[in-house]
């Protein structure tokens, strides 16, 4: 080969435009065809992952929830050693999500302030209402029970239930985009919790997807972002 990089072999240098990432010039630009493909793929993955999760026995689910609670405690020792007075949002389990209410109750006993997410307005960030065992509940959006109070809190920690996840810290949820909108608005310590078997090679992160700080399954911590 003659010349530097073989440039002398061609009448004009080869065009490398095809090697430029499509989002190089505008980081928020999305190819509409690609966005549609990813949305369709995610819908199919959600259905499959949810069908597998619902097939677990009650005993299996309880074991998983207990193991996740222990792994969460281990993570908090590192990330938030003193939980007293800290607002920690969990979730009211739906669609066979691991039931972490006992863990939230134990946090309450340790002096933390548990909270639950609420969709007060469609296509908007979630708001967080205080919760404690036995708190009065009402039906919220999607029939999810939410605390019957108008009080709202700013969480220090937010648990994000995972339908699917990948090892880069990205979450597949129910397709409403609520957690992404919430994390775009403020930056609590966001911890994904879900089943080890819900791991995907990638969720094909899009510009609106925000990586979580950590991902916890019944097998322990699967991803943890570098600590600030
Ligand atoms: N237990 C629990 N509570 C939670 C959440 C969660 O994931 N788990 N959320 C976590 O965010 C929020 C509710 N998330 C929701 C996500 C999607 C839709 C929804 O309407 N989904 C549409 C599909 C949307 C689409 O594909 O465009 C549907 O199923 O019809 C509703 C609520 C707040 N509370
Ligand atoms: N920050 C944002 N601003 C505006 N729209 C957003 C934002 N984040 C997500 N969305 C919209 O929400 C839609 C669903 O997103 P995605 O598939 O990531 O949902 P999800 O994370 O699975 O849902 P959820 O968090 O509700 O469980 C996206 O197509 C996008 O249009």
Do residues 112 and 82 make contact, with C-beta atoms less than 8 angstroms apart? no
Residues with CB under 6 A from ligand 2: 42, 171-181, 184, 208-209
**What interface predicted TM-score (ipTM) does this complex get?**
0.92
Task: Specify the pLDDT at position 19.
Answer: 61
pLDDT tens digit sequence for 126-151: 999 999 999 999 999 999 999 999 99
The CATH number for 153's domain is 3.40.50.10420
For residue 92 and ligand 1, the question of a CB distance below 6 A is answered with yes
In a domain, 5, yes or no: no
Question: Which atom of ligand 2 approaches the CA of 180 most closely?
Answer: 8
**Is 90 exceeded by the pLDDT of residue 189?**
yes
In a domain, 3, yes or no: no
Average pLDDT over residues 106-130: 97
**Pure H helices in the chain:** 32-54, 58-79, 101-109, 178-185
Cα 34 to ligand 1 centre (Å): 23
In a domain, 2, yes or no: no
In a domain, 17, yes or no: no
In a domain, 9, yes or no: no
In a domain, 213, yes or no: yes
Q: What angle separates helix 58-79 from helix 101-109, to the nearest 10 degrees?
A: 40
In a domain, 15, yes or no: no
Domain count, the chain: 1
For residue 144 and ligand 1, the question of a CB distance below 6 A is answered with yes
Most distant CA pair in the chain: distance in Å? 79
Domain housing 170 = 23-224
Task: Specify the pLDDT at position 107.
Answer: 98
In a domain, 11, yes or no: no
């Amino acid at each position: 080969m003659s010349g530097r990089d073989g440039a002398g072999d061609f009448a004009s240098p080869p065009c490398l435009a095809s090697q430029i990432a499509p989002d190089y010039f505008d980081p928020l630009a999305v190819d509409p065809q690609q966005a549609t493909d990813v949305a369709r793929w995610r819908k199919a993955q959600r259905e499959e992952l949810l069908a597998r999760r619902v097939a677990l026995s009650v005993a299996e689910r309880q074991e998983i929830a207990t193991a996740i609670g222990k792994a969460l405690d281990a993570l908090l020792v590192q990330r938030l050693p003193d939980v007293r007075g800290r607002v920690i949002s969990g979730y009211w389990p739906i669609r066979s999500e691991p039931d972490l209410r006992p863990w939230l109750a134990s946090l309450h006993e340790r002096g933390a302030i548990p909270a639950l997410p609420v969709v007060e307005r469609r296509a908007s960030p979630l708001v967080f209402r205080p919760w404690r065992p036995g708190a009065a509940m009402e039906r919220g959006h999607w029939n999810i029970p939410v605390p019957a109070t108008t009080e709202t809190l700013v969480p220090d920690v937010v648990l994000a239930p995972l339908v699917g996840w990948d090892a880069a810290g990205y979450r597949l949820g129910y397709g409403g985009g609520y957690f992404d909108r919430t994390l775009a608005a403020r930056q609590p310590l966001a911890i994904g919790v879900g089943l080890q078997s819900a791991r995907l090679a990638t969720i094909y992160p899009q510009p609106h997807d925000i990586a979580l700080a950590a991902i916890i399954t019944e097998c322990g911590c699967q991803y943890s972002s570098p600590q600030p």
